[in-house]
Amino acid sequence: MRTISVGPNKWAIPELALGCMRIAELESAALDTLIATAFELGFSFFDHADIYGAGRCETVFAESVARLKIARDRMMLQSKCGIHDGQFDFSRAHIVTSVEGSLRRLNTEYLDVLVLHRPDALVEPDEVARAFDELETAGKVRAFGVSNHNPIQIALLQRSLTQPLLFNQLQLSIAFTPLIDAGLHVNMRDEPAVMRDGGALDYCRLKGITVQAWSPFQHGFFKGTFLANPQFSALNAALRSVAEEHGVSDTAVAVAWISRHPARIQTILGTTSPLRLRDAVQSQDFVLSRTQWYEIYKAAGNSLP
C-alpha cells in the first residue's frame, strides 16, 4: 500500500483507509473477514465516529480486532466528535466526554487522530483548544483534524490551537466534485463556478493539511453508488475502458481518480465487502494519466471551460 506523508513530522499513513460507518449490522464472522482482509491488504487506518451506529460501530470493531488478536500498534484509529442529538457541539465538555466514550468502546488508551465532525456555528476556538490540550496531555489523542470545514473555519480554529490541524475530511468522488469544479471555472457565471467550500482543497495543499475523501463511491448526499448505476452510464463506460486498459476493476479506477490528484488525498472506503476492498486496492498498481483523469471527469457530466 502506498503511503501519504502527513504533517511536519512526515507521519506515513496508508493511501486507503477503511471507514467503519456501515459495520454495525454485520454478523461477527463477516466483520472479522472484512477486518482481516483490510489488514492483509494494508488498510491499517480506520475511520470511526462516536455517532456511527450510535456507538455500536466502535464497539463491534474493537470486539473484532480482539477476536483477530490484532495488536493496537498495528492500527491507526481515528474517531470524530461534535455531533449529538441532531446538533453540533464543539464545547470542551462534549469533546472530552465524546473521546472518553470512543476510547472505552474502541477498548484503547488513545486515538491516533481526533476529528471535529462538522462545523459548529457556536464554536469557541479557545474552548476547543482547552479540550485538545487536555486530551493531548493525558495521552488520549495524538493528532487532530477537522471534517467538512472551509478554510476560514480552519484558520479561526488554528489561531487558538497549540496542535496543527493535520486533516480535513471532505466528501469527494468522481460523481461528487464541488471541491474541484469551482477551481476549473474561476470568474465564470456558470453553475460549476459557484464555490461551495471556500477553496478547501487548495487551502489544504497550501497549509500541508491532508484531505481525506469520504464517500468515494457515492453520488449526491448518500444517494447510493454511481458504480454499475445506469444513471451514470457514460461515467461507467469511461471507468470500464480505463479498467480494461490496466487490467483492473472499475472500483480501482474510481479510487485511482482520487489518488491521482496531487494533493495526495487519503481515500476512506465505506464498503463492507472484502471483495470490493480487493478491487479497490488494485488502484495501487497504476497511476492515471492526465488525459485519463480529465476524460473520466468529463464522463461524469462535467464540462471544462
Site residues, ligand NAP (CB under 6 A):
19-22, 47, 117, 147-148, 169, 214-218, 225, 227-228, 268-273, 276
Kindly tell me which of 117 and 185 has the beta carbon lying closer to ligand NAP. 117
Q: How many angstroms from the chain centroid is the CA of residue 128?
A: 22
Angle in degrees, 0-180, between the axes of helices 274-281 and 28-41, rounded to the nearest 10: 10
Kindly tell me which of 82 and 192 has the beta carbon lying closer to ligand NAP. 82
Kindly tell me which of 148 and 283 has the beta carbon lying closer to ligand NAP. 148
Kindly tell me which of 135 and 269 has the beta carbon lying closer to ligand NAP. 269
Least Å from the CB of residue 28 to ligand NAP? 16
Kindly tell me which of 18 and 135 has the beta carbon lying closer to ligand NAP. 18
Least Å from the CB of residue 47 to ligand NAP? 4
Angle in degrees, 0-180, between the axes of helices 250-259 and 274-281, rounded to the nearest 10: 50
CA dihedral 219, 225, 228, 230 (to 10 degrees): -50
Least Å from the CB of residue 214 to ligand NAP? 3
Catalytic-labelled residue, pool 52, 203, 294, 297: 52
Q: Is 203 a catalytic residue?
A: no
Residue nearest to ligand NAP (CB): 270
Least Å from the CB of residue 280 to ligand NAP? 9
Least Å from the CB of residue 224 to ligand NAP? 7
Q: Which residues participate in catalysis according to the annotation?
A: 52
